[in-house]
């Protein structure tokens, strides 16, 4: 037989590890109710039995809540991971089924695990129940589903739904994003329009030889002089005598 000094540290360490490694609830839980979505919305969500009764001491034990007998003082709202099981708590001909967002809400306890921790038999394990401590606001409901004349209607979006944790990527600025192909360097259309419109000035023409002065106009009655040019022999003709 193990002595107290041997097994107690092991037991304490196991309890501590269990507390640290507690598994959070699934991102979506379900609750069935005999009331329709309009009634739940008007009430502001799901209220506990002890809500509005300050003279009663709230009972916050999910194990006792599941065992019954504490309904009048219970501060627990029952939900389930199973949509099928939650439907059973709606009315026969009317009621509602509600998909509830749990992300960022620390007020849930796994009822089955709490029974297991206490080594207490749990006769409703098939319900896969999670208990919420305190009122559950209407803004946590993502999608309600109504039951009308015994027939289930499709889920609809709740316009009042407000996630406790913003969706991933929401509000992200573009400062940290890498540039796209169209903005990093040349675009698919080719060089920029600024470069295509820039004109290079043409250089001035190169002059060969010395500039010549324009000849003066001839006087009245005088024949224009002829400029001597090269001859076939390579020389030049003498100017004619006047």
Query: Into how many domains does the chain fold?
Result: 1
As a whole number of angstroms, the distance between CA 11 and CA 102 comes to 31
pLDDT the model gives residue 222: 55
53 domain-assigned: yes
Mean pLDDT, rounded, of the chain: 76
Among the ranges given (19-23, 43-47, 172-176), the one the predictor scored with the smallest mean pLDDT: 172-176
123 domain-assigned: yes
201 domain-assigned: no
157-174 per-position pLDDT tens digit: 999 999 999 877 654 433
Q: Which domain holds residue 111?
A: 27-152
Q: What is the CATH number of the domain that holds 146?
A: 3.90.210.10
- For residue 142, give the nearest of 194, 103, 196 by alpha carbon: 103
172 domain-assigned: no
Q: What are phi and psi of 76, to 5 degrees?
A: -115, 135
Under a CB-based contact definition with an 8 Å cutoff, are residues 131 and 66 in contact? yes
Cα angle 143-149-152, degrees, rounded to a multiple of 5: 30
Which CA distances in Å does 23 have to 16, 20, 26, 131? 14, 9, 9, 14
pTM for the whole thing? 0.61
């Amino acid at each position: 037989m193990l002595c107290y000094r041997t097994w107690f540290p092991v037991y304490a360490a196991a309890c501590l590890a269990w507390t640290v490694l507690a598994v959070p609830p699934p991102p979506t839980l379900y609750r069935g109710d005999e009331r329709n979505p309009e009634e739940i919305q008007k009430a502001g969500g799901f209220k506990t039995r002890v809500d509005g009764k300050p003279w009663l001491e709230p009972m916050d034990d999910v194990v006792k809540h599941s065992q019954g007998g504490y309904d009048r003082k219970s501060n627990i709202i029952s939900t389930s991971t199973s949509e099928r099981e939650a439907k059973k708590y709606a009315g026969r001909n009317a009621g509602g089924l509600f998909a509830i967002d749990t992300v960022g809400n620390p007020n849930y306890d796994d009822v089955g695990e709490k029974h297991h921790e206490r080594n207490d038999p749990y006769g409703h394990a098939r319900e896969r129940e999670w208990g919420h401590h305190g009122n559950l606001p209407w803004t946590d409901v993502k999608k309600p589903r109504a039951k009308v004349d015994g027939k289930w209607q499709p889920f609809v979006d709740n316009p009042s739904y407000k996630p406790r944790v913003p969706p991933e990527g929401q509000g992200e600025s573009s400062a940290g994003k890498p540039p796209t192909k169209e903005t990093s360097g040349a675009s698919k259309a080719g060089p920029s329009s600024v470069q295509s419109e820039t004109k290079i000035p043409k250089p001035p023409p190169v002059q060969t030889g010395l500039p010549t002065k324009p000849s003066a106009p001839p006087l009245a009655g005088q024949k224009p002089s002829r400029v001597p040019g090269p001859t076939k022999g390579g020389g030049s003709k003498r100017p004619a005598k006047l």
